[in-house]
Amino acid sequence: MPNTYILYESIDAISSIVYRQCMQRLPHDVRESIESYIHEKDRKSRLLGKLLLQEGLQILQVSPSWMYQIKKTVLNRPVISAPIDFNISHSGRLVVCVVSNECKVGIDVEQYQKLNLLPYRSCCTHSEWTALTLSPDPWKSFIELWTIKESVSKAEGLGLQMPFNRIRVENGIVVSDKNNKWYTKKILLDTAYACTLAHHVPQINLKISKSQFQQ
């Protein structure tokens, strides 16, 4: 049955013991990739992303071995040959993974934090910038807008290479720089974070759950 699953967890669930145990089960090249990051927080975030993807594949009854055959497009978007799409995002201490066997997806999570918005003005359309200046919490509204734009750009496989000021919302539908139409959903995982899911079909069978990888 076609489904889209969002799995999430905090890196606080990855103790030093759990980290070592999980790393031992990964192929050498995957371990090397994770351990190439200097900061422990980054290493745990990357490991947790792999664990969430593995769990998502199992839920969709796809062999977890596909996780070790991840390839990247010419624009550096991770993909696998299995008939699913996936995307991973992390911010602060939260890691989120979406897997789907019904459509192409992109997801972005961002921790709320006060920002000087002026450096980001070029990421907004004129109407978006005007709306932000009138918002009671401009920085919060901007972070939520950012997750919309980044989830769409990640779904398209361009990431930050896509000009964000050319991603626009029209009648509730997000139109990308390539004039592709995307549907987005605001996902509430934690009140300290903004999260948006992008998908290219109007209706999806979405399920959201906290990871069960430790059980």
CATH number for the domain spanning 201: value is: 3.90.470.20
Asked if the structure places residue 143 within a domain, the reply is yes
Asked if the structure places residue 213 within a domain, the reply is no
Residue 149: pLDDT above 80? yes
Q: What is the mean pLDDT of residues 139-143?
A: 97
Expressed as residue numbers, the domain containing 138 is 4-205
| Tally of domains in the chain | 1
Asked if the structure places residue 140 within a domain, the reply is yes
Asked if the structure places residue 214 within a domain, the reply is no
Residue 214: pLDDT above 60? no
Asked if the structure places residue 215 within a domain, the reply is no
pTM for this predicted structure = 0.93
Q: Who's near 39: CB < 8 A, 6+ residues apart?
A: none
Residue 47: pLDDT above 50? yes
